[in-house]
Every structure is written in C-alpha cells, then in structure tokens.
Chain A
Amino acid sequence: MAGVLTLVRLKLTLLRRSMTGSRGDWMVAGAVVGTGLAVSTIVLSALYRASPAILGDLLGVIYALWLAGWIVGPVWGGAPLVRAEHFALIPVPPRRLAVGLLGTAFAGITTAVTLLAFISLVVFGARLGVLPALVAVPVVVLQLVLVVLLSRLAVTVFGQVARSRISSAVVGVLVAGLLILSQSGWMLAVAVRTSGLLSTGVTPAFATLVRALPSGWGLYAVEAA
C-alpha cells in the first residue's frame, strides 16, 4: 500500500510540474473542455425528455466515445508520467508495481473528468428507480477501472505495434483519422441532428452493439437492475 501511495504522490508531483508552458495550457484547455462534456452528459441524463430506452441508447454511444477517447488519447499524449521502467532496478514485486502504476493512472485530470461523465449513469439509474441507482454506484467505479485498464492495454499494444515499420504506418493512419475528426467532426453532429437520432433513437442492432462494447456493460447492468 505504501508503494501505491508513493507512486500516486509521485504522479501528482510530476503532473503539477508538467503543467507549465504551452503543454500546461493544453492540459488546462483539455480539462475545461472535458469537464464541459462530462457535465453535459450528466445534464442530458437528468433532463432529456424521451423514453429511458432512447436515453440509454444515447448514453451507450456517449460512453463508447469516452472509451474511444481513452484508447486513442494516449497515442496522442505520449508515454505516461510514471512508468514501470523507472523502477526496473528496484526490488518491487511486479504485481505490487502493477497495482501502484494502476493507482497512478487514477490520479489524473482525465480520470476525474471521466468519473464525472460516468456519474451520469447514476443519474440515469435514479430515473429508472432506487435499485438501478444503487447498482449504478459500484458500476460507475468498475466502468472507470475498465476504461483505464483498456487504455493502458491499448498503450502497450500501440507501443508494440509502432515498433515495426508497417505497423507504424497503421498508427499514422489512425492519427491522421483523429486529425480529420478534430477538424471536421462537427459534420457528425449535423448528421446526428438531421437524422432524428435524438428523438427516435438508434436502430435495434446499433443499440445492442453499444451495450455489447465494454463501455456499455455498466449501462446494461443498470438497465437490467
């Protein structure tokens, strides 16, 4: 446990010190935009007037987008501040180090913002009843853990993939896709608006898909409660 606390403290120190210059500005901007999106998700789940099924569909899509952000984000953001290689010479059992490093993954702006967004699931649960709301509380935590773990897994996979020449081209295409999305992503919003998705919901197959994704498992549990 002491190791975990040490690593979390280290992460917070490094985080504070890396928030300088233009990098710091980007981090603050990201935190503000992320918080805005997270609050919007909560507001949507609290105030959206439609059948719970359609709201569930929308939340499923939103959580899938958060998951996608966590998976592709690190490709953009670079290596984590606290890495296992920093402790390669120290006699810390791998399992304890892994738990400590996981702890550091939770000490961060992105995790806090994502937790805020996932709280919308509790709000959604409350609209369904007391039991779904209660179920949603541990589900939110588990969903956050899952997303963080998948993100770390993605970092490892991308890291391995990027080492070979052909695969680095694949990662390049992915980054290019992200760039296009960041500049022309507003078109998707227009498409969503004109398609009537917000009032009629998505197709049944798509609704099943968003719940089948790891990001939708929590939603499915809350709806089933």
Chain B
Amino acid sequence: MKEQVPALRMTGLHKAFRETVAVDHVDLTVPSGSFFGLVGPNGAGKTTALLMAVGLLRPDAGRSEVLGVDVQADPMRARQLMGVLPDGLAMPERLGGRELLTLIGEMRGLDPDVIAQRAQDLLEVMGLTGAERTLIVDYSTGMRKKIGLATALLHAPRLLVLDEPFEAVDPVSAATLRGILTGFVANGGSVVLSSHVMALVEQLCDTVAMMALGVVAAAGPLDEVRDGRSLEEAFMRLAGAKAGDAQGLPWLAS
C-alpha cells in the first residue's frame, strides 16, 4: 500500500525572539485523517509552532508541509488545502457574520450560490443566526471563535489547524464545535488543535504531542503517550512539575 502523505509535517522548525527560543527545531508529523492534539503549558511554544506551520510566521529555520505542499514555497496552494483558526484572528470588525463569510468566500473565488448556502449552514450550525444584526466588533470571545471557525471551514479544507478553539467557548457551543470537528475527521479530514486543557484533548484526539519549553517532549498515539495514566499525569511527569504543590504561597493559607 502506498504510504499516505501526512496532513501536516513540520521539519526542524525553529524560532527565537531575541535570546528567547520559542520553538527549538521541532519535528512533528500529523498523520492524515487524525485528530491531533498539541498540548503544553502557557509559553510552551504551541502557538508559535502552529503559526510557523501554517505560514503566518516566518521560521528562522525549518520547513512545513500541508498535505505534501511546502507552506513557504507554495503558500497559495497550502492555504487552499487548510483552514486555520489562529489565536486573535484579525478580521474586519464592522461586518456581520454573514457579511464576513460572504467576503471571505468572494476573496477565495467561490461561486456566489455556494457561498450563500455554506454561509447559511455554518451560521446555523454555529448558532449565530440569532445574531444577524450584530457586528463582529460587538461579538463575545466565544462568538468570535465560532465565526473564526466558520471562516476556516467555508472553503471545505482537508486540514484544520486550530489554536485554542475551545477557549472562552460556553459548554453548549463547545459541544457543537466538538460535533463539527469529530464529523470532519470521520469524513476524512484532519484536525490539529492546540490546547492546555488535557481532559479535552484526551476526549477528542487520537494522536497527541506534548510541548514544553519549545521542544516536543513526546508524540504519538494517545494511548501510547499517556501509557496507562491520564494525559495530565503523563504530562506532569514529562514536564517535571509536581501536581498539587501548595508550598509556593504559604501566606495564603493563614
């Protein structure tokens, strides 16, 4: 059988901001059709790694491929294949949700009928039809995540790269998002998401990578990485932290 092209492959990605190395020569392969979770504490380098992987940040060294397409060499093709939800996505603030989707669709060169249909479907699924008259500038953080995800899905990509997609999303919306993402993977798509919520990743993902201090501490199938423990325990062991250590603030207890 012919070996499948990985959905995303990072090779030697490296980025330093002055003396601080944010991502240290990271190699990571996301198998096609996987639901991939990138976990790690704040400042582990997850966001920087993902930004470089999708071509939004120029790496100091290394390369990234989306379904075999080099992101730096052919960014246009790579952007057709993937949908991205970066943290703090910049969008024209004084548009409504449907207007934004129509704009993105037009800029992507989609057919107007296709745009109208998909925008309707996405707004319904995301529960944003009730906010038709609300401009994005007045959206809550959760609503912004949802409209951002909608823009990432609009062109029916084969890979989704999502940076903290569940942050600030209410439980009901989170359940909807989970449904959309698992359905996407079941239909042959691949998802990469970053999160520092281990339980969520454990519940959703089949493959994980743990990042700490800019390097990948462990990567592989979920069960292999957690090795009979919870993902959180496995991570604490790898990161060398002690859970429940209350020694830091003795004055707080008095």
Known: A6-B106, A6-B107, A90-B104. A13 touches B99 (CB 8 A): yes
Q: Does A39 contact B (CB under 8 A)?
A: no
Interface 1/0 per residue, B72-116 and A, CB below 8 Å: 000111011000101000111011000100011011110000000
A91 touches B92 (CB 8 A): no
Name the contact of B103 in the complex, choosing from A6, A88, A91 (C-beta under 8 A): A6
B94 lies within 8 A of A14 (CB): yes
B90 partner, pick from A18, A86, A92, beta carbons under 8 A: A86
Q: Select which of B56, B79, B106, B135 is within 8 A of A91 by beta carbon.
A: B79
Cβ of A116 under 8 Å from chain B: no
Question: Given A89-B79, A90-B79 in contact, is the A17-B135 Cβ separation under 8 Å?
Answer: yes
In order of increasing CB-CB distance, the 4 nearest A-B pairs are A91-B79, A17-B94, A91-B76, A85-B90
Using a CB–CB distance below 8 Å, which chain A residues touch chain B? 2-3, 6, 10, 13-14, 17-18, 81-83, 85-93
- Closest Cβ of chain A to B134, distance in Å, is 12
Interface residues of B (CB under 8 A from A): 54, 56, 75-77, 79-80, 84, 86, 90-92, 94-95, 99, 103-104, 106-109, 135, 151-152
**Most chain B beta-carbon contacts within 10 A, residue among A10, A14, A93:** A10
Q: Closest B-chain residue to A11, C-beta based? A: B92
Which residues of B have CB within 8 Å of A88?
56, 90
Q: Is the CB of A90 within 8 A of B107?
A: yes
Query: With A6-B106, A10-B103 as given contacts, are A91 and B80 in contact (CB-CB < 8 Å)?
Result: yes
Closest-CB distance, B73 to chain A (whole angstroms):
14
Known A6-B103, A88-B56, A90-B107; contact A18-B80, beta-carbon cutoff 8 A: no
A81 surroundings in chain B (CB, below 8 A): 92, 94
